[in-house]
Every structure is written in structure tokens, then in C-alpha cells.
Structure 1
Amino acid sequence: MDMQLNELQQQIADACGKLLERRAGPARARALRAAEDFDRLLLAEMSEAGFLDLFGEPEAGALVAALVTQWSAQAAALAPIGARSIVAPSIIHGDLPEVIAVAEQGAMNAVRYGAEADMLIVLDGDDARLARRGEFRAEPVKSKFGYPMARITEAKGEALAPGAGAVARRWWRIAIAAEISGSARGAVDLTVRYMGDRVQFDRPLATYQALQHRIVECHVSTDAATWATREAAFRGAPAEQAATAAIIASETAQRVFYETHQLTGAMGFTTEYDLHLYTLRLQTLRLEMQGLRAHARDLVEARWPAAN
């Protein structure tokens, strides 16, 4: 895997970055959350520009789909980019609606974008089924954790090909890890700026070595999650690597949440400051798919199948 973006990837990065700069950002996320809404307009523009359909493109593929998901999260985009651009095309061929949610059978009390979804992918072990709007019932759930959430009941729909659930589960981990790495990067960058601006005892916070060590640990953890996710996507999301990326990302989410709020002091615990737009999402993402323990269990099963 080349650690540098190739020419096509750089062109996509530039174009996607310009779109996200115009249409996303903390102010946009804040306004949408206040209205209890999500960014359907951004999804539509990304779809029209082709950014949501790169998974199956030979010259772009899953790696670039993961990059787009990461960049979107870093820009605080409030839309189900990963579900639409990574999870759904991994098991569904043909045209896809813009708004897609992913849920796990037996854990559908808090599904991101469940009430807004035109299509719901339900994973049940190694199997999966596809429910379109009208084939499932979604009850919005009030949440302060960064995303619109819903409780799903009576999800019917059609069964997908045998093994589709196992495939989607691997790519769902990639999507989660990409969103975590992007959100964590947004939180770390914001905190670095704060530490440079905030003065205590006539010195910026960023000049204190003990604080430098803590923010550097966040930076290193975020980089680890980023590169583990990109490599797993590049290699086609083998079960072991997908689980590993999700584990690293989950641990990063916990570290970055704790440290960035500590390093920004009282300001970091107020909703007037943008930090929570990233970190509360980290709390949601690190618990998705039943969280770290489930990722670790599946890693053990992938690495040592004879032990099961």
C-alpha cells in the first residue's frame, strides 16, 4: 500500500474537500442538530458528484470510499456517508438510495439515521436482510450523542445472499473506524488550535511540555486508527484487519474524548464550543456494533478459528 495519495486520489481529495468546505463544518452541524435534522442536501450533492459511488470503481475502490468517509467526519458532516458509500455497496448491486442505515438484529434500540433512512440493512449473524421504507418502523429517540437516533421495530424485508451479513459486518467496521478517525482528527485539530490561543501564567497552553505529551498521544492514536483503517480497506476488509482497525479506532475514540475535554478545561464542557460536535459522536461510534468487546471477540475468531 502506497502511503501517499496517487494523482486520482489527490484530485478526489481536492474536489471533495472543496465541497465539504462549502456544505459541511461545525456551524452547519450545529444548526442541523438544533433543528433535529441531518444533511440530506450534502448527501444529494455528494451523490451527484459521484463521491458516494466510488466503492465499486476499479480506479478508486474501497480505499477511496473510506477516505471520503473519513474526510466527511473530519468536516463534521451530519450524514450517513459510511453506510451509503461503504457498507451498502459491499453487499448490494445496483442503484442505492442516498439515506441508508445499518442495524444489528437484537440491538435496534438506538440506530443512527434509522428514522431518516430510505433503506435499512439488518445484520443477523452471517445473514442480512434489506428493508425499504414501509417495511420497518422507526421511532425517533432523543439523543445528545451527535447523531439522529431511532428505535427500529418490525423490520421485515428481503433476505440477501447467504453470507452477506458477514461481508457487511467487516465493511461496517471499516466505516465506523473511518468515521472515528475523521472525528478524532477534527477534535484533535480543534484542541491544538485552542492550546495555541489559550494563555495561562503568561504562556500559551501549547508551551507546557506535560500538555504537549497528552495532545501528541491523541495525535498518534488518531494516526494509528487512520492508517489501520486505510490498510484494511485497501486489502478488502479481511475479518482480522477489519476487527483490528475497529479496535484501534475504539480505543482512539475513548482517549481523544477524555483528553481533548480535559485539555480545553471548562470551555471544553460547554455546548457553545464546537468540540462536542466531534467528541459526542466518538462516544456513539465506539459503542456501535456492540463496541470494543465484540470487535475483540471477532478478531480472536478470525485469527484462531480452531479455538472456537
Structure 2
Amino acid sequence: MGQARDVWPRLRVDDWSDTRDTLHMWTQIVGKVRLVHAPLVNHWWQVTLYVSPRGLTTSAIPYWGGAFDIEFDFVDHRLHLRASDGGTGGFALAPMPVSEFYDRTMRALADLGIETAIQGRPNEVDPSIPFADDDRHASYDAAAAHLFWRQLLQAARVMGEFRSRFVGKVSPVHFFWGAMDLACTRFSGREAPRHPGGAPNCGDWVMEEGYSQELSSCGFWPGGGDEGAFYAYAYPEPEGFADRPVGPSGAFYSQENGQFLLPYEVVRAASDPDQALLEFLQGTYEAAADLADWDRSALEADPARWAHKARVREPHTFAT
């Protein structure tokens, strides 16, 4: 697996921006398929994608008495569709316009007997070109897509460790296709003031649901730095949040974005990338929780709290 820094790949945003923008539209199409078939879960958690050992997956989507899933495979560069009745489908990921990807995805679903009609244009982007008409976004650099997935693997792994320290309400580590970011969100347990909305081509009611509870959120997205950036914010933002000192060196509060940012390249180049990212995630969470007076003693726990039990158990013997 290599040394710690070797598993954090280098991928300059400028080197794959066309592929990034195309892939953003592709993930919106697949995410909207999950949206129309899965029941609402608080904060739209039912619409997200998840990092998988091969790429990004919807996980199981209910359909009548069965289920299906869709996965972007960034190792073999294919879109895979699998149904619980044994049916499979898909096609190669290669340079193609969004309109073609949309048509092929809808036909692949129809071939599996999965009737699907999605909202035919993207959200949270401007302009919002209907998928069927979008011939502007047509790039796919397979090597860059693979590197992006490897970035997501590392981010998801460390964010998952950070998530394990919280026993209150906390989201999965999941990929929101609206903004194309990997996110994990902790909640205080209190209601939040109504969110003002304002995301492009996205109803204010969407943001009202997403931000209906007081939260501290963190994540990674392919922007905000030369190689992407980790972010952290609070809603509502408590007084003094932006002025809170947060490590590691290189982290800063962006007034433009209304959140703390840590460039990915700072983490990648650190002597201990995992620890550098955990310092950022923990420090920004503590800024939100302390300043907003969260009940931290009730919401946090040591993920190694049962380790002493494991140490005194008889060791397993494995046949070889």
C-alpha cells in the first residue's frame, strides 16, 4: 500500500477541470435516479452516493419488491447497473457528451425493466443545461477520474475515523452530487433557524430541509485549492467562529465561502497526512461546538472504549 504520503495522490484541479465538470453532470444524473426511487431521509441523505472499492456507488435502491444499484467504476472505467433479479447492464466510461450519457443511462435502466423519469436538468449550477441538450460537457480523462477517486478514498477513510468519535446524530460519509463534494455532518440535537436558500437552480425548500437542524459539517471537494480543499462550517455560524484559531498551518477561514478551508495539497505534503486532516476536522468541530454550547459530554465518545475487552480475549487461530 506504500507509505502514508504515497496513498494521497496529486491531482491539480486545472489539469482535469473539463473532466471534473462532465463527471459532475454524470453523477447528478445517477444521483437523481436514486432520488426518485428512495424514500425521503432527513437532510436528503437518501440521494447521496458513497465511495466504494471501485469508485462511487448508489448502494441498493429499492424498486418494487427488489432493488438495484448503479456504480461508477473508476478502475475499469465502466458504469455498472445491477438488479436483484440478476439483471445487469452498463457501458464504458469514455469521452461523451452529457446528453449521450443521459440517454445511455436511461436506456440501460429501461433494459432492466426499471421505469425511471428524473428531473431533466442539474441543480446547484448555473447555467443549468438540460441533460438531453448538454453537448458542452463531454470530457473524460480516465487517469484523472481514477486519481480523483483515490483522493475520495483517503478523505472518506479519515473522515470516517473522525465520525467514529461522535455518538450523537451524525450523517454517513457521503457524496453529494449537487455540489460534487464528500461530506460528513454532526448535529447538536437542536433546531436551526430557517435557511435562506439561494443555491443556484435549487429550490429554497431543499436547503430548508438540509439545514433544519443545528450542525457542524466537514468535507472535501475538487476546488478551493490547487488540488482541491477540505472544508468545515457551522450552521448557524456562532459568533466568533471565523476568528477561532484552527490548525494545521495552511488552514484559514474564507470570508468568500463562509467556511474554513484546508488545501488538499497541504494535507498531501504533510509528514502525517492523516493527523493533519484530523487536526483540522477536530479543531473546526470544537470551534462550532464550544461557541454554540453543544452538550459535548453527551455527544462524544472514545471509539476505542472497548479495546481493553479485545485485548483480554483469547486470540483467534486461523487455518492457512
Same fold (TM > 0.5): no
Which structure has more helix as a fraction of its residues? 1
Instruction: Compute the TM-score of the two structures, normalised by the length of structure 1.
Output: 0.29
In terms of fraction of residues, the more strand-rich structure is: 2
- State TM-score, norm by structure 2: 0.28
Q: From the CA coordinates, give the structure whose radius of gyration is larger.
A: 2
